[in-house]
Chain A
Amino acid sequence: MMEPLATPAHYLVLSAIIFCIGALGMVVRRNLIVMFMSVELMLNAANLAFIALANRLGNMDGQTIVFFVMTVAAAEAAIGLAVILALFRNKPTVQADEIGLLKW
């Protein structure tokens, strides 16, 4: 029996890479839409880790949680996009550093 091409370790490393891309994107990119997509990346990186470990451990809990995460991500997408739209109506920009009224 051939060893699978990808072991759980590969998936976990990939997940970590994706998560770091997302986190980095979240911090460095100023466009709200891109930041938003970065959040999605981080969520899906977490999903990938869950799936890989669930498969490895033969435990369904990890797969169940993924569904919850996707549900939350969908809701978050709806609300997040609505917030961005509302912001855009008030101020014609989607640059995060130009929206900074709520400060000291």
Chain B
Amino acid sequence: MVETQHIAEQTAVAASFLRYIPLAPLLAAAIHMTFGARAGRPFVNVIACAAVALSFIFSCRAVLELAQAGGGTFLLDPVYTWIDAGGLTVDLAFRIDQLSAVMCMIVTGVGFLIHVYSTGYMSHDADFARFFGYLNLFTASMLVLVLGDSLPVMFVGWEGVGLCSYLLIGFWYEDPAKASAGKKAFVVNRVGDAGFLLGMFVLFWAGAESGHASLRFADVNALAPGLSAGVAALAAALLFVGATGKSAQIPLFVWLPDAMAGPTPVSALIHAATMVTAGIYMVARLNVLYLAAPGVMEVVATIGGLTAFGAATVAIVQNDIKKVLAYSTVSQLGYMFLALGVGAFGAALFHVMTHAFFKALLFLGAGSVIHALHEEQDIRNMGGLRAKMPITWITFAVGTAAIAGVPGLSGFFSKDEILASTFDSGHWKLWALGVLTAGMTAFYMTRLFVLTFQGEYRGKREKYEAAEESPLTMTSALIVLAVLAAAGGYLGVPEVLGGSNFFAHYLEPVIGHHALHMGHADEIAVMLISVVVGLGGIVIAYRLYANGPGPDATFAVSGRGLHGTLGNAYYLDTAYDRFVVGGIGALAQVLWRFVDVVVIDGIANGIGRATAALGGSWRHWSTGNVQHYAFSILVGVAVLMLAVALGVAR
């Protein structure tokens, strides 16, 4: 049962500075890509960070002006009319309301920290100008995505971030595996994008039917309650296909683990903190449409719950530090969709924010480790790094505790809100799945942390000796993110714990009011269960892995089939290769060998051959001997004369 208070009509307040939020990084990207390489490393570093900082400052101004403008308003910057065709008008317009304000602050704030970190991480890479060009272009695209006032403008950003993701995953394109990981991300995302486009068409068509074709969010959300159930479900379902692609949900999550081929700051910014939350943002943005399609909401919740659980089980057996975090991201995104599906849009957005903090922190911490160990990513060859890298160690610990749901840290508040909402909405099974996932999250994150930082070092000795703490540009970002990961949850302390849930109330103008029905005692009980399960996961993992990755080998032997299945992510990639890629390959073979070679070539060559055959019987008249020609003329003249003489022709 989903119950959300109807959202009041909002009025627009003009704010022409909004366009500078995406424009600043866009210009910076243009500068990097044209003369960044010649201008040199310090210039590129400064411009890259300054552009995002500028966006952040404008975002802050937007948040302040939004607060001053008072309730029932949003800021709008209609730059110009982009499309004016038939009955459809689309403005290139940017919009700041409470929802896009939150996303904007996350993208620019966390984005800025990751840009600063990247200046340190990429300090040895010769291609820094290209890297920061892509990174700034990504930030600009992401800002267009969250600021767009209509679906087409959002789609521009949606495609832009997909492009930048592809470019950055395949950043080290000399390595074929990395280049093909980029391609895979792009192709899988295209599948989702097709759904997004079709969903947009359905909404356009439905709007035209009702006399007002508009793809502005305000108009779509106004239109949604009046739609027939089938049309609303179709549009919501198609758009959700887009969300599963961009936000790595079953069945389209397969690209995200491979996306770890990109530089680690990219994984942190694009594949953890911002781009992958685009699907959640889109669903929250169109919340009225989704509420008009309760069946689709059930699907969203189920997909979310299953993804959260499935990805967590896979994360348990991964040995690549970034792969663990990648599956963890898929799993946490599943939580967010679970929240969306049960109508707790605020909880989903809250988790988007806290996840951006702690997952960016964890990825950057992992990057710091990888940087120190010169591209070592296998946690079986790590251990004992706590002594070498104290700042990375302590910040990583904060991130681990936050994602594991240790009470008091940000992950605890947001995950608890999701689980409480799921329980409250009556989805018992999904709630149980969520709690189980919480336990597994705590387990695999503790495993990762212990194997990386605690115990004895297990890799090559000289690598350990050479390892040292990362430079200040990197550690400073870690520290700021650690503070945010620890304290970010206090924006949304639930009322049962004496808070006011500021975050949810802040978003209410956009996504409506969502209240829990259960009593405080029940809420406390639900909370305690997940806390106990989470802490249990931490304790078990800590005791198991304190002496190295030995238990993994035991598990691999005792549960061989299961271990292999999890290690290969349920063989979904293999299945896709065999059935989808194989099927398309077979189809291509048919198209090539039959349709192209036999039919198309057959028609073209057949016409040629028929003409040649016809000509072949006649061409021997052309002997090349003038006298034969002369004779032909003579005969011709004779025939003509005869015809005239007999009166056949005149």
Interface residues of A (CB under 8 A from B): 23, 26-28, 30, 35, 96-97, 99-104
Find out whether the CB atom of B624 lies under 8 angstroms from the CB atom of A23: no
Q: Are B625 and A100 in contact (CB under 8 A)?
A: yes
Chain A residues whose CB sits within 8 angstroms of the CB of B622 once the complex forms = 102-104
Say which residue of B620, B623, B625, B627 sits within 8 Å of A26 (CB atoms).
B627
- Interface positions, chain B 591-650, Cβ under 8 Å from A, are 619-620, 622-627, 630-631, 634
One of A27, A28, A30, A100 near B624 (C-beta < 8 A): A100
Contacts of A26 in B (CB 8 A): 627, 630, 634
A102: which B residues are within 8 A, CB to CB?
622, 624
Which chain A positions have C-beta within 8 A of B631?
27
Cα-based distance from A35 to B628 in the complex (angstroms): 13
A26 to B622 alpha-carbon distance, docked (Å): 18
Q: Are B620 and A97 in contact (CB under 8 A)?
A: no
Instruction: List 18 additional A-B contacts (Cβ < 8 Å) besides A96-B626, A103-B622.
Output: A26-B627, A26-B630, A26-B634, A27-B631, A28-B627, A35-B626, A35-B627, A97-B625, A97-B627, A99-B626, A100-B624, A101-B624, A103-B623, A103-B624, A104-B619, A104-B622, A104-B623, A104-B624
CB–CB A27/B620 < 8 A? no
Residue from A27, A101, A103, A104 in contact with B627 in the complex, judged by beta carbons closer than 8 Å: A27
Shortest B132–chain A CB gap in Å is: 68
Instruction: Tell me the B residues contacting A by CB distance below 8 Å.
Output: 619-620, 622-627, 630-631, 634
Q: Count A-B pairs with CB separation below 8 Å.
A: 35
Which of B620, B624, B631, B634 has the most A CB atoms < 10 Å from its CB? B624
Are B625 and A96 in touch, CB under 8 angstroms? Answer: yes
CA distance A100 to B627 in the complex (A): 10
A90 to B620, CA, bound (A): 25
Residue pairs across A and B with Cβ atoms less than 8 A apart, 9 shown, are A27-B631, A30-B627, A96-B625, A100-B623, A100-B625, A102-B622, A103-B622, A104-B620, A104-B624
What is the minimal beta-carbon distance from B629 to any residue of chain A, in angstroms? Answer: 10
Secondary structure dominating the interface of B: helix
Closest A residue to B627 by beta carbon equals A96
Query: Complex formed: what's the CA distance from A102 to B621 in Å?
Result: 12
| Residues in B neighbouring A97, C-beta threshold 8 A | 625, 627
How far apart are A16's CB and chain B's nearest CB, in angstroms? 12
Complex: how many Å from CA A100 to CA B625?
Answer: 5
Specify the chain B residue showing the minimal Cβ separation from A27. Answer: B631
Closest chain B residue, CB of each to CB of A24: B634
Inter-chain contacts of B626 with A (CB < 8 A): 35, 96, 99
Return chain B residues, CB-CB under 8 Å to A99: 624, 626
Nearest CB of chain B from residue A18's CB, rounded to whole Å? 15
Separation of A101 and B624 alpha carbons in the complex (Å)? 6
Residues in A with CB closer than 8 Å to B627 are 26-28, 30, 35, 96-97
A104–B619 Cα distance when bound, in Å, is 6
A23–B623 contact, CB under 8 A? no
A27-B625 in contact given A104-B619, A104-B620 (Cβ < 8 Å): no
Contacts of B620 in A (CB 8 A): 104
Looking at the complex, which one of B619, B623, B630 makes contact with A27 (CB distance below 8 Å)? B630
Closest to A26 in B: B630
Chain A hits for B630, CB < 8 A: 26-27, 35
Complex CA–CA separation, A100 to B623 (angstroms): 7
Name the CB-closest residue of B to A39. B630
A53→B348 CA distance, assembly (Å): 112
Most buried by A among B619, B622, B627, B634: B627
Interface centre among A23, A35, A104 (most CB of B within 10 A): A104
Give Cα distance in the complex from A37 to B624, angstroms: 21
Which B residues touch A96, using CB under 8 A?
625-627
Q: How far is the CA of A15 from the CA of B626 in the complex (A)?
A: 25
CB distance from A35 to the nearest CB of B (A): 7
Instruction: Report yes or no: A23 in contact with B634, Cβ–Cβ below 8 A.
Output: yes
Residues of B within 8 A of A103 (CB): 622-625
Q: How far is the CB of B618 from chain A (nearest CB, A)?
A: 9
CA distance A28 to B628 in the complex (A): 10
- Shortest B81–chain A CB gap in Å is 66
Closest to A29 in B: B627
Complex Cα spacing A97 to B626, Å: 8
Interchain nearest-CB distance for A38 vs B (Å): 9
Please report the C-alpha to C-alpha distance between residue A33 and residue B624 in the assembled complex, in whole angstroms: 18
A35 CA to B631 CA, complexed, in Å: 12
Chain A nearest CB from B634 CB (Å) reads 6
A99 to B620, CA, bound (A): 16
Q: Shortest CB–CB separation between residue B175 and chain A, in angstroms?
A: 59
Min CB distance A26 to B, Å, is: 5
What residue in chain A is nearest B631 (Cβ atoms)?
Answer: A27
Within the assembled complex, what's the spacing in Å between the Cα atoms of A97 and B624?
Answer: 8
